Structure 1
């Protein structure tokens, strides 16, 4: 039975027992689905992934622990009658604020927005147990099992601590000195910070849109012609849009998460895992052309990815547990040094055709961060359509301003083609 301490990044995404922080990932289906198949599918998925059989214990130890429960109930299925094409959005916003605080219920739920011929399926998971790749895996598994409940999933051994990912030649003694120095510097940093009582009290929101296949293909082709990535062009476009709309308030920086599986192959594509190293990228002041910006960002991203020591980052994080609460307080009260967190999940690897239904489209994950700077953009590509969800809080960035930034970024993107 699994019992392990939450990693530092998991603790940050957990926040605390009273604060929900959930990811919601949506798929739109055409065809007829069977309720009994949902139950069979969710049972098999829960058997595969230990985190979906676990609760979070905050009372027995100094720090929170994941504890696998023998008597855990099945993953709940909430069924809502579908009336409009926007019902999924209302349900997504509701699920942002679900607290997974029942020790006998799993850290996950599925919502079925059920129509006669069209449905949306929403996976709802606390961010402390999943990243974007985890969400894609769970949706792929669910759709496969809904179509054919006889399929079997291969289970995997849950890791017991970050030490499981450390190489045999990892010099812990040498790293301990470095960790102690960083911890001391962090404590001094927090001591010097003024305590801020500023909090987001406004409403969280999401703005969702898609690009048609023609525009998506044109952007992809233009990026290839200029030798840049779609991700670097998106970063350049949105940073420039923030600059154009917000002027001197803009930070000219984005934070970009990277899939940890690139660095630690023991964490497989189909494993549920929460840690994603992040990279800060910036607009250079002496560059004016959008594709020149994208080229510089691509170069900067490549250089920083090559420097990531993911195993050491995981281990170093474990030495920072004494200051996690202060990190969370700072995130809740600090403007941060970036305009937006931009997560590009790329092409989604889920089949579109099944025996009994069709996957019409994927909607990028939504999330309502409790941080003061809650600006988040998530993008996915499915069936040659780029999909975007832009999220923030009215107190920090009004929906009107966010819409202006989105429109400006699209103008930059499409004028370049």
Structure 2
């Protein structure tokens, strides 16, 4: 593998990442496509509700955004290693743009709209896995976790602003125009990646390219993970942290209603978790790599313990503060990413990062669904606190079972 384009020379912050040739275009493309995607989800939800009057069909937009991660990330993960990452990224963006543009066809049935959204969901984990593999080629072991941290920071910032702005833009320009803007955002992302970023070699360029071989090679990534317990525990740890802490977001509306406050105030809880994630990512990125490594265990515990405070039904400002602290624990990934990088084979990194992304989204969706079901029969604050206890026990057990993370 070719050496990274930039030596850190003691500078391991986000500024050092952005000075690597081509990296500003990568992050700009991510910001553009994330903003477009989130706003389009709002637009599509509203469009389907306006056509059908069904809250259930409108809610399926979010389900179709999460569900394909489990299947697409598992079956297609080997494609992230078979071809040069830049080619995979551009093709994924163009395919997503074509799907969103097709949604603009007048009178397209709702099942067809949801089907097109499912296709974009299938390619999303492949895109993210190829991008992570590309970052691992151009950024050294110290800068790689900071690069992924910057991607998460952009994502969380987009979550805070995208849904709010999406509703405003739908009212201002209409759902169809917002969907058109999303299709354009994918085209712009493809152009930035294709023309403004350097090319990295494929991780496994000699593999067969038949459909059967793609499935077999994707299964090789799962078998490699199964046969490598230290790496498997690290991946599980990256799933467990948001898997348990995400219930705070999942039950935010129910908790707000149970507290006797207007449902619109739930936005404070959503913002609290996202703001904590962004602030912690920015702070931890400024620390030395060894310090980030030492903070893994404290941060994974921090991601869960504040949730236990919901057992006492705190008022909304305090609840938002607890979620802010919980979100701050997500910065543990800056210490975990270098461990995953060192424990994985370069030829399999595209597959492993695709599996990591798809598993993370699947676990989050499942935990939110389970907590939502429990929250309809028990006090929401009590459910959040119970997940906090289970989450704290789980992440500590996984961290202590992983010698690298424990150190």
Q: TM-score, normalised by structure 2?
A: 0.30
Q: TM-score, normalised by structure 1?
A: 0.30
Q: Which has the larger strand fraction?
A: 1
Q: Which has the larger helix fraction?
A: 2
